[in-house]
Amino acid sequence: MAMQMERRRFWMGHVARFHASGLTRRQYWDRHCLAPATLDYWRRRARMEPAPAFVPVQARAGSVAVVAATAASVLRLRLGEVDLTLPADVDPTWLASLLRASRWFMAVAPVDLRCGMDRLLTMVQSAFGRDAFDGSAYVFRNRSGTRIKMLLGDATGVWLCVRRLQSGSFVWPRENDELCELSAEQFEWLCAGVDWRRLSVPKTLAKML
């Protein structure tokens, strides 16, 4: 049973990465040395399985609060208007920190958003000369400005999030620098498709070699 579960996790992981990669089936097979028939089988399995149920959560910076820790070893956590029930031994400070960035940076030049987590981490470290795991968030856009990816790394792991507007494009700076720093409020305006530059003049960082 354990081997079957491990096999399922392995192939379902590849199915998810294939759909997120933007590669053709043959390109993905060749890159990862996979058997085409087996990958196609697990793709069919994935389509047949019921989709997971998601609860919409909207949380502004600083909106995470501990509601109660009961004697039944249950921790109730409130994110905006949503209450979550978790084991009481979860550290709420650590959990809240996962949902916030210490600083926000925009990569001014567009990137290929088919890039995954590892390539974007390398870009932050090599091209921008910054520590990719210091708790800062880095936002990248595609050439048309209709999609963004946010990368946030810390000592325990990495978040990679994607956002697309229903219409229009994201407002982006035109500075010659490689990075532009935002406030948390400016980032919220950016995600909403609003011109965040009206809040204040953003900080620009000198080009780093």
DSSP, collapsed to helix, strand or coil, labels residue 26 as helix
Alpha helices in 33-85 (DSSP H): 36-48
Task: Look up the pTM and report it.
Answer: 0.52
pLDDT digits (tens, 9 = 90+) for 153-164: 887 788 888 888
- In angstroms, rounded to a whole number, what is the distance separating the alpha carbons of residues 28 and 43? 13
Q: Which residues of the chain have pLDDT under 50?
A: 52-71, 79-80, 201, 205-209
pLDDT digits (tens, 9 = 90+) for 116-172: 888 898 888 888 888 888 888 999 999 888 899 988 888 778 888 888 888 888 888
DSSP H helix total and E strand total for the chain: 6, 9
- In angstroms, rounded to a whole number, what is the distance separating the alpha carbons of residues 168 and 165? 7
Q: What is the pLDDT of residue 55?
A: 47
Q: Spell out the domain ranges in the chain.
A: 2-48, 64-97, 104-205
